[in-house]
């Protein structure tokens, strides 16, 4: 019996996640057939797809209930006609990132921290995404071997933490991601790395030997902020990915978005926090919806959000309570909302 070399195993592992990404559902009719949902029930608006196409990894779709158009995972990814409506207060740049975007894909709006737009690619297209209209083509940090982004970070000694975002930074290859991490390792005043990603949730195959090796070799203290909105997203494949990340020395947090018909009841939020902890992940933020155009049908009233948090606090210990928060363009930090 021939034992594959570590390099061969890593290549096979990389092919697994890239293959899964290529095989994601992109045609609405195909997803409906897979889920055994009557295509005459949901009303698909072609205009909604034109600017923001469907993308759903097959593994994520397998966690959806067959035949149920009200499944909370399905609702997050299914395009509906309401996305085409113009609603007051909902715009193209919900949190003001475009206005602060610099050359090299840098967004510097918080003290001591800088956000780096790594890529516009993502493993899943969530219909409430606050960057669904973001002009990624104008500035991506990964171009030209990250030179401009790294130069700006190197020149500003006040920066102690780098936040890698997108899109989803784990949509990058290990080679591309490693190039950036190696560059950061050489900047002495940077101490922490934070990755904001949904990939381990929707595409847990991405947590492979190559990625884990990258995370182990960096000197930076690394936190990964995952994005799960419902306990049903967290199956055993996700739990395994989280375990591997923790074993690589990564601190795991989760931020959710409060979404109408998805998780806007106390039982769903309680189940999410408890399942996250089972997976070794601490709840971090529960965000009020970022008011991006096309997402108004997901919005939950702030008074209802406060009431949910009050009830949730009677059911969970403090360390499992996420902070209810809102991000407002122009403010120097997220607003944590008292309830």
Q: What is the pLDDT of residue 15?
A: 76
Task: Find the helix or strand (DSSP H, E) in which 225 lies.
Answer: strand 221-226
Q: What are phi and psi of 25, to 5 degrees?
A: -65, 130
Q: What is the pLDDT of residue 143?
A: 74
Q: Which residues contact 35 (CB under 8 A, 6 or more apart)?
A: 61, 64, 66, 67, 68, 71, 74
End-to-end CA distance of the chain: 62
**Token pair 């406060």: residue:** 306
Distance between CA atoms of 175 and 12, rounded to whole angstroms?
15
Q: What does DSSP assign to residue 111?
A: T
Q: Which residues contact 217 (CB under 8 A, 6 or more apart)?
A: 181
Distance between CA atoms of 227 and 232, rounded to whole angstroms?
13
Q: What is the pLDDT of residue 107?
A: 86
Domain 97-336 bears CATH identifier 3.20.20.70: yes
65-104 in b/e burial notation, b at 16+ Cβ within 10 A? eeeeeebbbbbbbbbbebbeeeeeebeebbbbbbeebeeb
Task: Find the helix or strand (DSSP H, E) in which 207 lies.
Answer: none
pLDDT tens for the chain, 339 residues: list them: 334 444 444 444 557 899 999 999 999 999 999 999 988 875 555 556 767 899 999 999 999 999 999 999 999 999 988 888 889 988 877 666 666 677 778 888 888 999 998 888 899 999 999 877 776 555 677 777 899 999 999 999 999 999 999 889 999 999 999 999 999 999 999 999 999 999 999 999 999 999 999 999 999 999 999 999 999 999 999 999 999 999 999 999 999 999 999 999 999 999 999 999 999 999 999 999 999 988 999 999 999 999 999 999 999 999 999 999 998 877 777 889 999
Which of 291, 277, 268 minimizes the C-alpha distance to 320? 277
Domain regions of the chain by residue span:
6-84, 97-336
Q: What is the pLDDT of residue 154?
A: 96
Q: Is this structure's pTM higher than 0.95?
A: no
Q: What is the pLDDT of residue 130?
A: 80
Q: What is the pLDDT of residue 41?
A: 73
As a whole number of angstroms, the longest Cα–Cα distance in the chain is 66
Tokens found for residue 172 = 């990058």
Q: What is the pLDDT of residue 327?
A: 86
Q: What are phi and psi of 315, to 5 degrees?
A: -110, -20
241-280 in b/e burial notation, b at 16+ Cβ within 10 A? bbebbeebebbbbbbbbbbbebbbebebbbbbbebbbebe
DSSP states of 287-329? EPPP-BTT-GGG---HHHHHHHHHHHHTTS-GGGPPEEEE--T
Q: What is the pLDDT of residue 135?
A: 64
Task: Find the helix or strand (DSSP H, E) in which 47 lies.
Answer: helix 46-51
């Amino acid at each position: 019996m021939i034992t594959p070399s570590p390099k061969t195993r890593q290549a096979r592992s990389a092919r697994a996640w890239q293959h899964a990404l290529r095989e994601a559902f992109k045609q609405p009719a195909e997803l409906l057939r897979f889920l055994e949902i009557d295509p005459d029930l949901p009303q698909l608006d072609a205009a909604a797809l034109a600017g923001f196409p469907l993308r759903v990894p097959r593994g994520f779709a397998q966690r959806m209930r067959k035949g149920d158009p009200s499944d909370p995972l399905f609702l997050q990814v299914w395009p509906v006609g309401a996305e085409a409506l113009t609603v007051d207060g909902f715009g193209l740049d919900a949190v003001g990132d475009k206005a602060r975007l610099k050359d090299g894909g840098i967004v510097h709006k918080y003290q001591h921290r800088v956000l780096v737009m790594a890529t516009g690619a993502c493993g899943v297209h969530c219909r409430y995404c606050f960057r669904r209209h973001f002009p990624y083509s104008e500035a991506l940090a990964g171009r030209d071997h990250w030179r401009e982004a790294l130069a700006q970070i190197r020149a500003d000694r006040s920066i102690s933490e780098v936040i890698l975002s997108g899109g989803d930074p784990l949509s990058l290859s290990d080679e591309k991601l490693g190039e950036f991490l190696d560059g950061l390792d050489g900047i002495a005043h940077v101490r922490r790395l934070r990755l904001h990603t949904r990939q381990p949730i929707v595409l847990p195959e991405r947590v492979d030997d190559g990625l884990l090796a990258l995370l182990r070799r960096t000197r930076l203290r690394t936190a990964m902020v995952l994005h799960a909105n419902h306990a049903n997203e967290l199956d055993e494949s996700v739990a395994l990915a989280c375990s591997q990340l923790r074993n690589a020395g990564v601190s795991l947090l989760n931020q959710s978005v409060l979404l109408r018909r998805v998780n806007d009841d106390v039982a769903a939020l309680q189940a999410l926090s408890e399942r996250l902890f089972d997976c070794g992940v601490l709840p971090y933020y529960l965000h009020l919806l970022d008011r991006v155009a096309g997402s108004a049908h997901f919005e939950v009233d702030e008074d209802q959000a406060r009431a949910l948090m009050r009830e949730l606090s009677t059911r969970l210990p403090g360390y499992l309570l996420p902070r209810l928060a809102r991000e407002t363009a122009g403010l120097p930090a997220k607003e944590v909302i008292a309830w």
